[in-house]
Structure formats: structure tokens, C-alpha cells
Amino acid sequence: MKDIIYINRKTGQKETEIVKGPKTMNYVYNKRLGQIGLRLLFKRKVFSMYGGWVMNQNKSTKKIDEFLKVNEMDMSQFVIPNGGYKNFNDFFYRKLQPNKRPIGKGLVSPADGKVVAFKTIGCCMDFYVKDCTFNLNTFLKDKHLAKKYEGGSMMVIRLAPADYHRFHFPADGIPSETKKIKGYYYSVSPIALKQNMRIFLENKREYSTLKTKEFGDILLCDVGATLTGSIIQTYTPNQSVSKGQEKGHFAFGGSTVVVLFEKGKVTIDKDLLENTQKGYETTLEMGETIGSSVKLK
């Protein structure tokens, strides 16, 4: 397997991602027997539900120290409850301390993670290796909504297990109710995604539309993955929200946030587009500026 190289946005330098369990992931996604196991078990809801149940048990706190050590995590930005976390999931969707993440100008990232950004949705063919057709009708299960975002821009923010797993609103606006789409629980690891972008079209996902004055209607889609048994929405639909306000969180597992913009409404930051064109993801933190309104250009 080739190393997963990404761009650290703060330094501009290339770095190598430490992919946990690469042998297992390669076996599951690249070997015939592994793919049989994937179809029969790993993508199924029951497998992820069991994983979520395990991580909700009190004794799962024993896994936290090892997780911190292996992933070399800095916890200085996060809230640590008095008496510690009650289980691994409580730690997994930990909250940020107030004012630890400044909210930037313009459009901001809704999550921590590694992003690929496309000026038009069809450009994803330049990044994903094969089977890269991104079909909006299939993704949204709504032909009228798919038509609305046809020719628009797209960002895919991939959250690794060690990342902060709460997601937020990228702009001021009014969010719609959440629509849920049933699906499987394929991994969203870089190994899996590079092999097949159809994961986004087949995994469990739920989306809402954020109506904004500056950026049009932004569609925010939260995508589940292997061992991500739950996507929890914490916002109140149809009430005004502020940029950077929490929208929800993922329970244990890797996850993804897909953001769609209407055609001609948003200009995504140049460095994110250029890195994607070169085949690299770019690191982002929630609240970091990712674009601007076309009207401001």
C-alpha cells in the first residue's frame, strides 16, 4: 500500500498519515475473501451497533489511554469532565473548551479533518482512483434537490478516529429539518475511499439545508461509517444559528461530512482546490476559513 500523503495547511508541508490497521483494511478492500467478509458483516448495521454498544460500556474507559498514546493526541483544547469520561464514546465525542477555536471570516469549516474540494462536483474524477462518478440523484434520493446543486461545488471532509467528532455550521443561517437515508456502514478510511467513492452513495447518511444570505443554500450531509453506530443531531431545525454553532456529533468510528454549494454562490479557497487537483487532502480545523461569497469577489 502506498503512503497516504496530505498537506498540513498550517505549515504547507506534506505529511504522512498513520493509518491504523492498514493490513486489515487492505485485506478487506483489496482481497477477494476480505470483500466477501465486507459484504457479509463489516458493512452491516448490526456490526456497527455492537461496536457502539461496546464503546458505551463503563469498562471501555480502559481503552482511552492507549488510544491517546497511539494517536499522540493533545487534549489541551478539550473539556475533561470532573472524574473523567464515563465511557469511550463520551471521550470520543468530547467537547472543545470555550474560545479554543477562533471562527474565521467568510465560510468556515464545519469540522476537523482532511478535506478535498472541487470547484464543480464533476471534478471529483481527478481525485478518486476509480468508480468515481458522484451521482447527486443517488446521493440525495431527491431529483429536485439534485437539480438544485447540479454544477455546484463540493467539499468532502474526512474525520479520522482521532479527530474531534462534533460538527458545526459553516455560516449564519436557518437550518432545515434533517432527512435520513438508510444505508450500509463501509469504512471511510483513506484506503477505502481511494478504492471506491461509491461509499458516499451507499453509506447511512443524513442531511439538512442551511439557508444563508451570503452563500445561498448550503447542503450539509453527515455520513456514517464502520463502527459509527449513531449520528446525533443537536441543533433545533428552522431556528437561526450562528457560524460555528454546534450541529451535532458522531459516535465511535471514522466519519465524513459532505458539503454541497449551489452553482455560482461560493468561491472555495485556492489552496484547497489546488491541493486536491494535485491528489492531496488538506488538514482543516473547525472554524477555519474555507471560502467566500462570490458576491464579495
Could you give the residue numbers annotated as active site? 112, 168, 255
Q: Are 165 and 250 in contact (CB under 8 A)?
A: yes
Q: Could you tell me the three cell numbers for 68?
A: 491517546
Strand pairing category for 281-284 and 174-175:
unpaired
**Beta carbons within 8 Å of 192's beta carbon, 6+ residues apart:** 25, 29, 186, 199
Query: Closest by alpha carbon to 158, among 112, 219, 90?
Result: 112
Half-sphere exposure of 258 (CA within 13 A, CB side): 24
Helix (H, G, I), strand (E, B) or coil at 166: strand
Q: Are 87 and 60 in contact (CB under 8 A)?
A: yes
Q: How far is the C-alpha of 286 from the C-alpha of 255, rounded, in Å?
A: 15
